[in-house]
Amino acid sequence: MIRLIGGEVRKLFTTKLWLWMLLGAIVLTAIFMSFTIALDGAEGNPQPPLSTPEGQRNLFSVVGGSGVFVLILGIIGITGEFRHQTVTPTFLATPQRGRVVVAKLVTYALAGIGYGIVVVAFAIALALPWLAVKDIDLSLPDNGIPGVLVGTVVGLAVYSMLGVGVGALVRNQIAAVVGSLVYLFVVEAFAAALPTIRDYYKYLPGGANSALTGASQPGTTLLEPWQGGLLLVAYGLVFAIAGTWLAVRRDVS
């Protein structure tokens, strides 16, 4: 298994996709955090002030939005095998297909952790001086911020596993990527905004991830962080197991 994981790591770094996805995660984090800080205290802003513990947790929880990039990375990591017809020699070299998928899951989970650490470090480097200029006292060990940062890293790891699972289930790269983006930015956005179904948003992956990262959303009730974490991990395991099961049984052609 160690050799399989090593092979998947080499595949991951063969192209520059990982770098572009990382840069995308950093840029998206910068945009979200910049808006959050710049609009702090603005009239009509429903978010809690950044001088409060809730506001500071919300500030760092926006880093979880970069999970879309590790999700896409995981999807492409496995659907690329089918798109470029490299899946046949991969499965011939390792006839136990389940081991190949498990190796991908481990590899991309580790990549998600790496992304999380880098993006969290960037978020801290951006927030500390900016808040200091606004005379807002921020102590990273306090106000529940460590839990938010750890939850963000865990969330990115799970999202990368979700990507591998979704890719193994769908196999078509365009359909998997487009379908995932539509779900994240349309379906979940409507679920969080529509009063008739807003109460169910907390049970969706996005709601679970928001709970895990300690976010608070006006008008929306979320689970406790530990509950959101368990639910998100459950989603990751379900998609990972389902993707592995189908990869083992379906024909690769």
**Number of structural domains, the chain?**
1
Stretch among 65-69, 182-186, 212-216, 227-231 having the lowest mean pLDDT: 212-216
Stretch among 116-120, 181-185, 212-216 having the lowest mean pLDDT: 212-216
Instruction: Give the whole-angstrom CA distance, residue 163 versus residue 159.
Output: 6
Please report where in the chains the tokens 């083992």 appear, as a residue.
248
Q: Looking at residue 89, what is its pLDDT?
A: 55
What mean pLDDT comes out for the span 49-71?
A: 88
Structural domain range at position 88: 2-249
| 99 vs 97 pLDDT, higher one | 99
Is residue 148 within 8 Å of 61, Cβ to Cβ? yes
Q: Looking at residue 95, what is its pLDDT?
A: 53
The structure's pTM equals 0.85
Residue 132 has pLDDT above 70, yes or no: yes
Start-to-end CA distance of the chain, whole Å, equals 25
Q: Looking at residue 92, what is its pLDDT?
A: 46
Residue 85 has pLDDT above 70, yes or no: no
For the chain, the average pLDDT equals 83
Q: Is 45 left (phi over 0), alpha (psi -120 to 50) or beta?
A: beta
Residue 43: pLDDT band by 50, 70, 90 thresholds?
confident
Q: Looking at residue 23, what is its pLDDT?
A: 95
Stretch among 48-52, 58-62, 237-241, 242-246 having the lowest mean pLDDT: 242-246
Q: Among 11, 5, 245, 243, which residue's Cα sits nearest to residue 103? A: 5
What mean pLDDT comes out for the span 56-75?
A: 90
| Angle in degrees, 0-180, between the axes of helices 97-133 and 225-249, rounded to the nearest 10 | 150
Alpha helices in the chain (DSSP H): 2-12, 17-38, 53-61, 67-83, 87-93, 97-133, 145-170, 173-182, 188-193, 205-212, 225-249
Q: Looking at residue 91, what is its pLDDT?
A: 53
Stretch among 26-40, 52-66, 203-217 having the lowest mean pLDDT: 203-217
Is residue 59 within 8 Å of 148, Cβ to Cβ? no
What mean pLDDT comes out for the span 39-44?
A: 77
Q: Looking at residue 51, what is its pLDDT?
A: 85
In tens, the pLDDT along 198-226 reads: 788 888 888 888 888 877 666 677 888 88
- Per-residue three-class SS string for 38-93: HCCCCCCCCCCCCCCHHHHHHHHHHHHHHHHHHHHHHHHHHHHHHHCCCHHHHHHH
Is residue 21 within 8 Å of 116, Cβ to Cβ? no
SS3 220: strand
